Structure 1
């Protein structure tokens, strides 16, 4: 464990009517305790989970478009709107790590091409691999432990089988005892990682919930168990 608390510095905020403080979960945030090596942020789009994760990445010194402390490149509107208003508590503090932002991963891959840093990512350009292959190359080669990893929707490029392979990589790093993960996700597969902490952003305030209480699990389970009825209700309406 490295990062153990995130606090909103309310004394620096002049108005809660503007983004990102207009987001209910950000508006009501005082402090968020991080007590697990693996923590998940879940919630609908716009609920604030990626906003908070991006702010944490900025405070860690990572490129908020994706990358670590030594990845310098610019992407339009990549700065965090929340970063300067939060405080992180560490024990001990770590400077190694990586911020994965699925939506701007293409820009990160182009940056790696420009600096010719292929060896750290399997020896081949990330652009010469499929989207899923490039993500797995990142996880397999760049994630080496003694670090904090902040991942925003890593499942975006991963098939269900590759999501399971990613969980194996995550588990091996966690078992070594010197890695911490905070992951914003919609994936019921990733959320199933044993003993992880899950924070839901779907209510007025951030709430810790169990895996079986997530909408992701409930909807997927209902769909798989009642596929024909579910699709009939959605596509045709109830008779």
Structure 2
């Protein structure tokens, strides 16, 4: 592990009534300790998990629209306001890493195409071909398998967005190899009950009045999915009846 703690500089926050400081989970951050090489952020949309992940990426020097330190391109609303008000505690500090945003991955792939046209061997780090010439899921796996390597921190925002259940399992294998063999650290915001099942991961829930560590079985992702699979007909009847 490299990143040990995320702290909110509460005495410097300009206005707790303005976004993103008015998000309940963000408001009460004091010191958020990271206790595993793989940490998951979970919560409903709008709970603040992606907002905090983006701020961490910005603070690391990664492109907050998606990419690493050397990926300089712009997309709409890529700036993180929260980044100026958090502190990251490292031991030791690393500069290598990447921030993957599923929602802006198309723009990142276009950026790589432009670098290739300018003469850089940009495709080499992404499987040898344009990410646009691969399916959405294939391009995600190309990123994970070719761009990610050791002594680095990787921040992933909903990586399951383009991955089928089978490819999510493939991603878990890649994740495990990078953690065990390459000493990588991951912080992942996700809704996937498959990814959340990674052994010994830390799961931080943003749904309560404070960010709390919970077990896999305590997540809504697990409970709702399990109940649906075990009681599909009953569940759908209750859901769809007028």
TM range (shorter): over 0.9
How do 1:86-125 and structure 2 match up within 5 A?
86-116=86-116, 117-125=122-130
Do the aligned partners of 2:149 and 2:182 also contact (CA within 8 Å) in 1? no
SS across alignment from 1:188: coil
Residue 4 of structure 1 corresponds to: 4
Residue 46 of structure 1 corresponds to: 46
Q: Distance in 2 between matches of 1:150 and 1:77?
A: 18
How do 1:1-239 and structure 2 match up within 5 A?
1-116=1-116, 117-176=122-181, 178-237=183-242
Task: Give a deviation string over 1:34-63, Cα, whole Å, max 9, x none.
Answer: 111000000000000000000000000000
Q: Distance in 2 between matches of 1:183 and 1:104?
A: 16
TM-score (norm 2): 0.97
SS across alignment from 2:203: strand
Q: How far does residue 167 in structure 1 lie from its aligned partner after superposition?
A: 0.4
Q: Distance in 1 between matches of 2:52 and 2:196?
A: 18
Q: Distance in 2 between matches of 1:10 and 1:202?
A: 20
- Structure 1 window deviating more from structure 2 (226-235 vs 158-167): it is 226-235
Structure 1 alignment gaps of length 5 or more = none
Task: Give a deviation string over 1:87-137, Cα, whole Å, max 9, x none.
Answer: 000000000000000000000000000001111100110001110000000
Q: How many matched pairs?
A: 237
Q: Distance in 1 between matches of 2:132 and 2:157?
A: 20
Q: How far does residue 145 in structure 1 lie from its aligned partner after superposition?
A: 1.4
Q: Distance in 2 between matches of 1:157 and 1:195?
A: 25
Runs of 4+ in 1 over 4 A off after TM superposition: none
TM-score (norm 1): 0.98
SS across alignment from 1:6: strand
Q: Distance in 1 between matches of 2:55 and 2:15?
A: 18
SS across alignment from 1:87: strand
Across the aligned residues of Structure 1 and Structure 2, the Cα RMSD in angstroms comes to 0.7
